[in-house]
């Protein structure tokens, strides 16, 4: 049987924690920081969990 390949775009955008939660980075934390308050920039720097509706799809693309 051929092996399934991990989706290249997905492996760059998501990570799975040791307990199995899928984490992602928040949008809006790349540039234009002069328009954002420091508090907003700090909040956007934290990783967040993927919504429950998308977890199954992301894990399948990651080959888990």
What DSSP designation does 1 have? -
Q: What is the pLDDT of residues 5-59, one digit of tens each?
A: 999 999 999 999 999 999 999 999 999 999 999 999 999 999 999 999 999 999 9
Class of the CATH domain delimited by 8-62: few secondary structures
For the whole model, what pTM was predicted? Answer: 0.83
Residue 24's pLDDT is 97
DSSP string of 5-52?
PPPHHHHHHEEE-TTS-EEEPPTT-SS-GGGS-HHHHHHHHS-EEPPH
Q: Of 15, 3, 19, 7, nearest to 48 (Cα)?
A: 15
Residue 45's pLDDT is 95
Residue 1's pLDDT is 86
CA gap 48, 63 in Å, rounded:
21
CA gap 37, 18 in Å, rounded:
33
């Amino acid at each position: 049987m051929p092996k399934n390949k991990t989706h290249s775009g997905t492996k760059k955008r998501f990570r799975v924690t040791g307990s199995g939660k899928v984490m992602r980075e928040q949008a809006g934390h790349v540039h234009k920081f002069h328009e954002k308050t420091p508090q907003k920039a700090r909040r956007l720097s934290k990783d967040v969990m993927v919504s429950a509706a998308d977890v199954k799809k992301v894990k399948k693309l990651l080959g888990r």
